[in-house]
Amino acid sequence: MKTALQAFSALTLAVSLAHTGLAHAQEHQHDTFNLLEQEKANTQIYNAYFPNADIGRKAAISFHGQLLESHYPKGYLVMELNDEEMQKLQVFGFTFAPATEFITKRNQILSKLQTQMLSAQQKSLSMAADVSANNVSISGIPGYSCYATVEETFAVAADMASSKPNLAQWLDIGDSWEKGAGVGGHDLRVLKLTNRSKTGTKPKLFINSAIHAREYTTAALTLDFARQLVDGYGVDADATWILDHHEVHILLMTNPDGRKKAETGLSWRKNANQNYCGAGSNSRGADLNRNFTFGWNSTNGQGSSGSQCNDTYRGPSAGSEPEIKALESYVRSLWPDRRGSGKNDAAPSDTSGIHLDVHSYSELVLWPWGDTSQAAPNGTALQTLGRKFAFFNNYRPQQSIGLYPTDGTSDGISYGELGVPSYTFELGTEFFQSCSTYNNTIKPNNLPALLYAAKVVRTPYITPGGPDISNLSLSNGGSTGVPAGTAVTLSGSASDARFNNSNGTESTQAISAVEYYINQAPWDSGASPTALLPSDGSFNSVSEGFSGTLNTAGLSEGKYLVYVRARDASGTWGAVSASFLVIDNDATQPPANYCSASSGSANYEWIGRVQVGSFNNSSGAATYSDFTGQNISLVRGSNSLTLTPQFSSGAYRQGWRVWIDLNKDGDFDDSGEAVYTSSGTSTSAVSGSFNIASSVASGATRMRVAMRYNATPASPCGSYNYGEVEDYTVVIP
């Protein structure tokens, strides 16, 4: 059920008063009341039973505008359908029944909303004297604190540009329909992120979100991504080099007028253009993702609707909507046209740039074409990058054609017209996704996919075919501070196999080389690499550990970026990952007497993820990983813990134990330092907690996590047959 409807309350009126004044707020409230009444009257909602899950997923693509809920395990979708749409689905074996349960729950919630609104209206006059933008605390869409409103999103972005002008600009690129018509509305704004002190031509990643108003998760994810980059500059090595060398442009609210309608709980998809389907209708507006100029109505009515009240109404002409005019104009300013005019003209392999259009829902990664089943001329490279994105978010990667084609969509301007690779992410499983699902699943799984896009945007048709670097670490406190001349070991993992192969298999090759650069990116003029060595003596597998000693002699005090990349046997260099090396001649070295520990093999299982409180680290196959360069902030009292195994093929039972050197004496042998032990063995993740007593001294110390095949690790030292050991730095307040 669209539970966002349950969240609307009198606070909605207070927010409106604070921003628009009493008279306008009352008018807006009356309009919303009537729109909710219209939605209650809609009974063209059905349980659409599909013959198999593959047909169901394709229907979710072609009939995305009609989709209300998905119940794949139960074999049906909840959809709003007219007779023509039902006939189209019947051809593919769909059967239908009235969605009585959905309609009943919806109407109960809508009636409750209206009652709350009437009650709030009685208080509006007294509230008017007391409500202002300064004394109303607004924290997201009511009931969904993780999703910022349009105004809050704009305020956060504006604050980034104000507080960190060297990294962020908040650009006005046009007006929404309502603003252009003088009936309220919003600016269309892009958040441009890059280190402006680093000049020169930079490759550009463009992301737009919330083009469909009711898709709550989308703008939240892109805003969180912006925060990750800006807040991470100078703290996180990857965020730092990305902003130094690349540009990220984010149109956070592509459809702000429609989004304001959806914030009231309405299932609003389109923009708010009052020229279509009646000025007071909740079916008014155009579907902005059917209004792009390239390929507009190219399927002669199959891929979009010519009916003004339909959720996929394409508008009266190509690019008719001001929101699309602004977006297309901005995109054309980012990239040159590198694709010919023919449908089968491929863009050159060295084309730079990526366009991501972030939607919800269906857990898909999609690429062109969507208006034909024919593969795009750059289809092989698009598929490779799509499978790489899907490795991170675990979504299904596929070409964006469903049961029927779609036309006039966002990939037209970027890929169709300019040749820049374009993708659609379909986040999650609901339009009004719960905050717990967003925070625990959608956000942590998709931020790495967005970060990867920012990494490979220089050559997106080439780089994703190469190996990825993970588990980078520097020994002897190299990431926190060492005197010049200290021997610092750089280690990590390289893998050419990080693809989602749930829909076809991507070819892989053995690792052939790994190299690093200090304070120079590989593409910098005169950049000089240093080779790193395979941990097992030879580079001959698709996944390899590597290490090498950094030469820190003669380095002046300061923070250095260490860039690392790997090449596979086909000669393709993969994405760069980085770590900080800090030279501090006053630094003291941590104790070096911790015992060694590892498994004998990571061919079958290894530690896939360690989560402690809000800390979250995913990693690849290794027998031992040194993550002491990553600090985990603990709390006094109970600390939550989740440990996740990962397997190369079949799942095997694992036992776990965690030690913390609580007295900082360089070992884990003292009483109480085994802080967590799993209850037996399991093939799945284990969760629990451990306690930090008030008597434990503050400061940094080491934590060791051990996972062992078919047994609980008995000792923090030594080796055993299968599994992995990982070390971390924990900070006790």
Q: Confirm if 114 and 402 have CB atoms less than 8 A apart.
A: no
- Measured CA to CA, the distance from residue 667 to residue 115 in angstroms comes to 64
- Measured CA to CA, the distance from residue 587 to residue 583 in angstroms comes to 8
Catalytic residues: 426
- Measured CA to CA, the distance from residue 336 to residue 349 in angstroms comes to 14
Place of tokens 């169709």: 416
Who contacts 305 (Cβ-Cβ below 8 Å, separation ≥6)? 287, 290, 311, 312, 313, 314
First to last CA, the chain: 43
> Sign of the CA dihedral 701, 706, 712, 716?
negative
Give kind and range of the element (H or E) at residue 12. Answer: helix 10-20
- Measured CA to CA, the distance from residue 92 to residue 185 in angstroms comes to 41
- The structure tokens listed for 113 are 């909303």
> Sign of the CA dihedral 559, 481, 705, 597?
positive
Beta-sheet strand order (sheet of 45-49): 67-71, 76-80, 45-49, 95-98
Closest by Cα among 224, 270, 242 to 354: 242
- Measured CA to CA, the distance from residue 245 to residue 357 in angstroms comes to 22
Q: Give the C-alpha distances (Å, rounded to integers) separating 581 from 143, 244, 247.
A: 43, 17, 24
- The structure tokens listed for 611 are 């989560």
- Measured CA to CA, the distance from residue 688 to residue 401 in angstroms comes to 43
- Measured CA to CA, the distance from residue 645 to residue 610 in angstroms comes to 9
DSSP code string of 92-106: TT-EEEE-HHHHHHH
DSSP code string of 162-174: HH-TTTEEEEEEE
- Measured CA to CA, the distance from residue 490 to residue 25 in angstroms comes to 60
Give kind and range of the element (H or E) at residue 720. Answer: strand 718-732
Q: Contacts from 531-537 at CB under 8 Å and sequence distance 24+?
A: 532/490, 532/564, 535/491
Burial class (CB in 10 A: 0-12, 13-18, 19+), 556: exposed
Closest by Cα among 248, 231, 255 to 153: 255
Neighbours of 73 (CB within 10 A): 7
Reduce the DSSP state of residue 107 to 3 states and report it. Answer: helix
- Measured CA to CA, the distance from residue 525 to residue 520 in angstroms comes to 9
- The structure tokens listed for 171 are 């650009």
Give kind and range of the element (H or E) at residue 325. Answer: helix 322-334
The C-alpha angle 687, 544, 387, rounded to 5 degrees, equals 70
Give kind and range of the element (H or E) at residue 547. Answer: strand 543-550
- Measured CA to CA, the distance from residue 195 to residue 122 in angstroms comes to 51
- Measured CA to CA, the distance from residue 196 to residue 186 in angstroms comes to 27
Reduce the DSSP state of residue 235 to 3 states and report it. Answer: coil
DSSP3 helix / strand / coil % (the chain, rounded to 5): 30, 30, 45
Closest by Cα among 587, 367, 619 to 472: 619
